[in-house]
Amino acid sequence: MTELPICTLVSWKDIDRWADTLAQEVLSGSGAPETIVGLTRGGWVPSRLLADRLEVKHLAALRAQHWGVTATPNGNAEITEGLTTSVKGRKVLVVDDITDTGESLDLAMEHVRTKEPLTLESATLLHISHSTYVPTYYAEDVPKERWAWFVFPWNYWEDIRTLVAKARPDGKTPSGVRQLLRDRCRIEVPEEDVLRAFGPA
Ligand code: ADP
């Protein structure tokens, strides 16, 4: 049987609420930063939403990637596209969607620290309690017992295509796949979305 994770479908409404909470946390903490660094790709939308709420005009991107055991000797995440803008002497906030192992954000923080910011903090929408890295701010704490693969709205089609491809050998037909997603991933995916992810017959 193929491995299908328990999933949670995240709505834009959830994102909006978490972004509001996070902005509030930052404001009651050390206040709005001068620069926000969004980790690609998961941190792009959250960082833009925070920049809007905190009235931050300076937004930069940083890419931390997990290359897997075949690409690096230890299978750890690494920075594949560094900061292209100077953050020296600035008050910086690094933003991502979720800390799960926390490795990507930990690495990103180390990288930004070498660029000599005045202050450096981190923020995520979700924080899973088993993460080795704890962000300075997060909107929601997820106990590790409630771990799920969170299907963020900006990653919807990528995740649905992946899940459908995994469920296809056992599920066979679109309705069989849809049932597997219901039983194993515990998500209700509209029929037309499963059909779209199946691709042309
Ligand atoms: P890793 O470095 O092991 O991939 P991280 O906790 O550093 O784990 O997360 C890296 C990125 O992977 C996150 O920013 C997010 O986009 C994605 N991700 C990791 N865990 C989850 C999850 N449980 N649900 C949804 N996305 C996840």
**Residues 10-54: tens digit of each pLDDT:** 999 999 999 999 999 999 999 999 999 999 999 999 999 999 999
Report the separation in Å between the CA atom of 42 and the middle of ligand 1, taken as the mean of its atom positions. 8
pLDDT on residue 70: 43
**Rounded Cα–Cα distance for residues 83 and 132 (Å):** 24
Mutual angle of helices 156-171 and 191-198, in 10-degree steps? 80
Instruction: Flag whether pLDDT at 177 surpasses 70.
Output: yes
pLDDT on residue 19: 98
Which of 104, 138, 140 for mutating ligand 1's site (highest number of atoms within 8 Å of CB)?
Answer: 104
* Tens digits of residue pLDDT in 14-25: 999 999 999 999
72 touches 51 (CB < 8 A)? no
**Rounded Cα–Cα distance for residues 84 and 75 (Å):** 25
Residue 21: its H or E element? helix 12-28
As for ligand 1, residues whose beta carbon falls within 6 Å of it are 42, 66, 77, 96-105, 131, 149-150
Residue with CA closest to ligand 1 atom 22:
149
Summary count for the chain: helices (H), strands (E): 6, 8
Phi–psi pair at 106, nearest 5 degrees: -60, -45
Question: Which amino acid is located at 103 in the chain?
Answer: E
pLDDT band, residue 176 (cuts 50/70/90): very high
Q: Domains of the chain by range and CATH?
A: 12-145 (3.40.50.2020)
Task: Return the ligand 1 atom nearest residue 124 CA.
Answer: 14
Report the separation in Å between the CA atom of 158 and the middle of ligand 1, taken as the mean of its atom positions. 14
pLDDT on residue 79: 82
Report the separation in Å between the CA atom of 39 and the middle of ligand 1, taken as the mean of its atom positions. 11
Report the separation in Å between the CA atom of 178 and the middle of ligand 1, taken as the mean of its atom positions. 25
Residue with CA closest to ligand 1 atom 16:
42
Mean pLDDT over the full length of the chain: 93
Report the separation in Å between the CA atom of 153 and the middle of ligand 1, taken as the mean of its atom positions. 15
